[in-house]
Amino acid sequence: MSNKIQTLSGYIHEYQKSVLQPEEFWGRIAESFHWKKHWDSVMEWDFEKPDVKWFVNGKVNITENILDRHLFTIGDRKAIIWEANEPGEATVELTYRELYEKVCQFSNAMKANGVGKGDRVIIYMPMVPEAAIAMLACARIGAIHSVVFAGFSATSLADRINDCQAKMVLTSDGNFRGSKAIPVKAVVDDALKSCTTVEKVIVLKRTGTDVSMKSGLDMWWHDAIEGQALSCPAEVMDSEDVLYILYTSGSTGKPKGVVHTVGGYMVYTYYTFLNVFQYTAGDVFWCTADVGWVTGHSYIVYGPLLAGATTLMFEGVPTYPKPNRFWQIIDKYKVNQFYTAPTAIRALQAYGLDIIEPFDLSSLKVIGSVGEPINEEAWHWYHSHIGKGNCPLVDTWWQTETGGIMISAIAGITPTKPAFASLPLPGIQPIIVDAEGKELKGNNVEGNLCIKFPWPSMLRTTWGDHERCRQTYFSTYKGMYFTGDGAKRDHDGYIRILGRVDDVINVSGHRMGTAEIENAINEHPKVIESAVVGYPHDVKGQGIYAYVICDMEGRTEANLKDEIRLTVANIIGPIAKPDKIQIVPGLPKTRSGKIMRRILRKVASNDLGNMGDTSTLLDPDVVQAIIETADTAS
Ligand code: PRX
């Protein structure tokens, strides 16, 4: 039986089967792959510890299923099509055969430089085919990759290198993004001043920017691959060996390393890719994410390549050289499935329809959305003007921790509803609970979103700190995975994601912990204390609003705000810079010292009416002072 759902009744049947007989259901899908040794049992699980295993004792290498398996069947099919930042630069196309050779060659280069099974490798690279090659080469030799988004600062990069004790860093001389060439090697040099575990840095020449190459440490990519064989044995991996670590922000402390393992991730990303987007052989699939985020891992690299798809990678930004770039690329490559973020849609919507007009978007069959709730206006615009009213729009809800899409329509098969992620995919058992964890059954309910049964690509742990994983995801509600999102189920049984219920904000689809931003702001010597909240932002979904208590001596407000933004950019990266800063005389705190963020969120959203009960505040007057100076936020 095909793994692709073909009809609505097929979906209902598969869903029921996945709930009633999960082992048979997932076992059947996993049989589509090449295993070096068959699993003993499909799954074992305990959400208390948590301890979850899929395809227990199975041995497999994910790259054999991406590369070797496809060599003799679709070796000449395009695996990756790459569009450069500059429209004039030549396209790079890699067939499955060429990808196989390049991955093997780079695997051998890494091995020759001392990397082996279980070693951690940081990938801090632009959106070029070599980034995907690097990820796959790690997977081939059993090294654990951790891709760090190349917009993160040296401090953030160093934190991640140190947390996972990385042995190697893969980077480039610079990154082209729009009109800029960003000197990323210099960021790596800076980060390494506070890291002791890195033995080798391999540097891809991309921009031609001058870089310093330290002898014994730094090595050019082209030198590293020179003379390396174009085949390389695939390491035998246990199904539960770690495939990658991806750092993500939470409501407390530093970002945590979400751990994904080989077997379950392989099965789930393949299955969800194939079904949600209804991929058909020969289609060109384009996901606009960066490989630094989970969407890039699961739906630029792993899911599509496991399915033998042609995946498009774009180096640049949607607005360069003109804000018609996305539409131009869809036309150029006759893209069939297009997957992007609501923030991009809203930003491009602002340029009007004339810029879309010259392009032929008729190749599109499916359009998708990910990363944050898509508001109805953006949904309709996307559906009408990009999908021309006849492409199913799949609003896909999932998380770094879930590894793959969890709640989404299946394109053209299950119905869609604007702003609703809609229905769970087969194998996913979401429930909505109240504050005490009681399941809210039936329709027309709203509460916190949990998942009550394991799925193959769920996180297994947080790197080096299993207790943090338990605390964050499995302790709020006993026996369930807590997503951190609020959700409602409407009268039709469709799920709508309402956004985060914890201290995490979602800026342009990027997750940021308020505590992390506050810590960065507090590093500025003039800052005494700060509190950060999210507020509704027309393009970004949420903007970052910082309330800051400062020593103003020797500074104007404008200077200080600039300096604070620079501090945040240096410590985390430009994406975390506050959109608005308000200098305040105090923060609304309870007698136990807890900041009442509810009040700060209301002021930031310009909702100055009823502030609710402020009687428990240590100093209720502070609220008035904050309201009165709200218009100074900038
Ligand atoms: O709040 C949800 C939101 O993004 C969070 C996960 O962020 P991250 O781990 O960075 O992964 C983003 C890409 C998968 C979720 O907790 N989110 C993601 N997709 C949607 C969404 N909110 C509403 N609708 C979505 N389709």
Report CA(370)–ligand 1 centroid distance (Å): 7
Give distance in angstroms: CA of 92 to centre of ligand 1. 31
Q: What is the mean pLDDT of the chain?
A: 96
Ligand 1 center–CA 243 separation, angstroms: 22
DSSP-based helix, strand, coil % in the chain, nearest 5: 30, 25, 45
Query: What token pair was written down for 263?
Result: 């077997």
| Residue in 149, 135, 8, 165 with CA at minimum distance from that of residue 62 | 135
* Distance from residue 339's CA to the centre of ligand 1 (Å): 14
Assess whether the previous peptide bond of 321 is cis (omega < 30° from 0): yes
Closest CA to 179 of 63, 308, 57, 325: 325
Q: What's the CA-to-centroid distance between 150 and ligand 1, angstroms? A: 20
Q: Which domains does the chain have, with CATH numbers?
A: 8-317+396-487 (3.40.50.12780), 508-632 (3.30.300.30)
Angle of helix 154-164 versus helix 184-192 axis, rounded to 10: 50
247 lines ligand 1 (CB under 6 A): no
**How many other CB atoms are there within 10 angstroms of residue 498's CB atom?**
15
Strand order in the sheet with 78-83: 92-95, 78-83, 310-314, 284-287, 337-340, 366-370, 393-396
Token duo for residue 340: 């992007």
For ligand 1, mutation pick of 245, 259, 374, 399 (most atoms within 8 Å of CB): 399
Measured CA to CA, the distance from residue 460 to residue 454 in angstroms comes to 10
As a whole number of angstroms, the distance between CA 253 and CA 163 comes to 13
Pocket of ligand 1 contains residue 295 by CB under 6 Å: yes
Read out DSSP for 292-347?
Answer: TSHHHIIIIIIHHHHTT-EEEEE-S-TTSSSTTHHHHHHHHHT-SEEEE-HHHHHH
CA–CA separation, 350 and 377 (whole Å): 12
Kindly state if the Cβ of 400 falls inside 6 Å of ligand 1.
yes
Q: Residue 613: which pLDDT band, with cuts at 50, 70 and 90?
A: confident
**Section 122-128 average pLDDT:** 98
Q: 452 with 480: CB under 8 angstroms? A: yes
Q: Element (H or E) spanning 471, and its range?
A: none
Q: How far apart are CA 59 and CA 48, in angstroms?
A: 26
The average pLDDT across 416-434 equals 97
Instruction: Identify the three-state secondary structure at position 534.
Output: strand
The predicted pLDDT at position 160 comes to: 97
Task: Write the CB contacts of 590 (distance below 8 Å, at least 6 apart in sequence).
Answer: 596, 616, 617, 618
pLDDT score of 199: 98
Residue 484 Cβ < 6 Å to ligand 1: yes
Q: Assign 370 to helix, strand or coil.
A: strand
- Report DSSP state, residue 166: -
User: DSSP of 72-129, one letter per residue?
Assistant: HHHTTSEEEEEE-SSTTSPPEEEEHHHHHHHHHHHHHHHHHTT--TT-EEEEE--SSH
**Residue 485 C-alpha to ligand 1 middle, in angstroms?**
9
Decide whether any atom of ligand 1 lies within 6 Å of the 397 Cβ.
yes
Q: In angstroms, rounded to a whole number, what is the distance separating the alpha carbons of residues 502 and 428?
A: 22
Residue 580 burial (10 A CB sphere; 0-12, 13-18, 19+):
middle
Query: Can you tell me which residue has the tokens 């890039």?
Result: 296
22 vs 106: CA distance, rounded Å: 38
* Confidence check: pLDDT of 253 > 80: no
Residue nearest to atom 8 of ligand 1 (CA): 399
* pLDDT score at 1: 58
pLDDT in tens, 344-365: 999 999 999 999 999 999 999 9
Ligand 1 atom with the shortest distance to the CA of 421: 26
Residue type, 117: K
Q: Which helix (H) or strand (E) holds 193?
A: none
Whether 393 is in the pocket of ligand 1, judged by its Cβ within 6 Å, is no
User: Between the CA of residue 2 and those of 32, 150, 336, 407, 556, what are the distances in Å?
Assistant: 10, 39, 21, 21, 66
183 CA distance to ligand 1 centroid (A)?
A: 30
From the alpha carbon of 499, which atom of ligand 1 is closest? 1
CA–CA gap between residue 487 and residue 431 (Å, rounded): 9
Element (H, E) at 59: strand 59-60
Residue nearest to atom 15 of ligand 1 (CA): 399
pLDDT range class, residue 615, cuts 50, 70, 90: confident
Confidence of residue 593 (pLDDT cuts 50, 70, 90): confident
From ligand 1's centre to the CA of 266, what distance in Å? 21
Across the range 265-293, mean pLDDT stands at: 98
Does the CB atom of residue 402 touch ligand 1 within 6 A? no
Burial of 563 per CB tally in 10 Å (0-12, 13-18, 19+): middle
Yes or no: say if 201 and 216 are a contact pair by the CB < 8 Å rule: no
Closest CA to 104 of 230, 279, 244: 230
Indicate if ligand 1 lies below 6 Å from the C-beta of 495: no
The confidence band for 612, taking pLDDT boundaries of 50, 70 and 90, is: confident
> Could you tell me the two tokens for 157?
């990069």
For residue 406 and ligand 1, the question of a CB distance below 6 A is answered with no
**CA-to-CA distance for 157 and 100, rounded, in angstroms?**
29
The Cα 156–Cα 539 span in angstroms is 26
At 425 the three-state DSSP class reads coil
C-alpha 467/C-alpha 26 separation (Å) is: 28
Roughly what angle, to the nearest 10 degrees, separates helices 597-604 and 621-628?
A: 20
601 three-class SS: helix
Closest ligand 1 atom to the C-alpha of 407? 26
Q: Is 399 a residue whose pLDDT tops 80?
A: yes
Q: Does 289 have pLDDT greater than 80?
A: yes
pLDDT at 619: 86
Q: Per residue in 57-92, pLDDT tens?
A: 999 999 999 999 999 999 999 999 999 999 999 999
Tokens 């009550």 -> residue? 452
Closest residue to atom 14 of ligand 1, CA basis: 399
Distance 509 CA to ligand 1 centre (A): 7
Which residue CA neighbors atom 24 of ligand 1 most closely? 373
Q: What is the pLDDT of residues 320-350, one digit of tens each?
A: 999 999 999 999 999 999 999 999 999 999 9
Q: Which of 187-191, 460-464, 508-512 has the lowest mean pLDDT?
A: 508-512
Q: Which two tokens stand for residue 113?
A: 């430089």
Looking at residues 411-421, what average pLDDT do you find?
Answer: 97
The C-alpha atoms of residue 560 and residue 632 are separated, in whole angstroms, by 13
- 521 CB under 6 A from ligand 1? no
Question: Ligand 1 pocket, 421 CB below 6 A?
Answer: yes
E-state strands within 114-241: 120-124, 144-147, 168-172, 175-177, 180-182, 200-204, 218-220, 237-238
Q: Whose alpha carbon is nearest atom 11 of ligand 1?
A: 399
Instruction: Round to whole Å and give the CA distance between 378 and 340.
Output: 12
Q: List the beta bridge partners of residue 175.
A: 182
Q: Does the CB atom of residue 263 touch ligand 1 within 6 A?
A: no
> Nearest Cα to 263, choosing from 309, 310, 306?
306
* Band of pLDDT at residue 608, cut at 50, 70 and 90: confident
Polymer length in residues for the chain? 634
- 579: Cβ below 6 Å to ligand 1? no
Confidence of residue 620 (pLDDT cuts 50, 70, 90): confident
| Interval between CA 343 and ligand 1 midpoint (Å) | 12
The predicted model gives 86-113 an average pLDDT of 98
User: Which pLDDT value is given to residue 126?
Assistant: 97
User: Is 152:171 a contact under the CB 8 Å cutoff?
Assistant: no
Nearest CA to ligand 1 atom 26: 397
Among 376, 483, 497, 502, which is best to mutate for testing ligand 1, by the most ligand atoms less than 8 A from CB? 497
Say which amino acid occupies 369.
S
β-strands 120-124, 144-147 pairing:
parallel
> Which of 132, 100, 138, 134 lies closest to 116, judged by CA?
138
104 CA distance to ligand 1 centroid (A)? 34
Our answer on whether the CB atom of 371 is closer than 6 Å to any ligand 1 atom is yes
The finding on whether 298 has its CB within 6 A of some atom of ligand 1 is no
Residue ID of nearest Cα to ligand 1 atom 7: 399
| Beta carbons of 618 and 589 less than 8 angstroms apart | yes
- What does the pLDDT read at residue 215? 97
Q: Is 316's C-beta closer than 6 angstroms to any atom of ligand 1? A: no
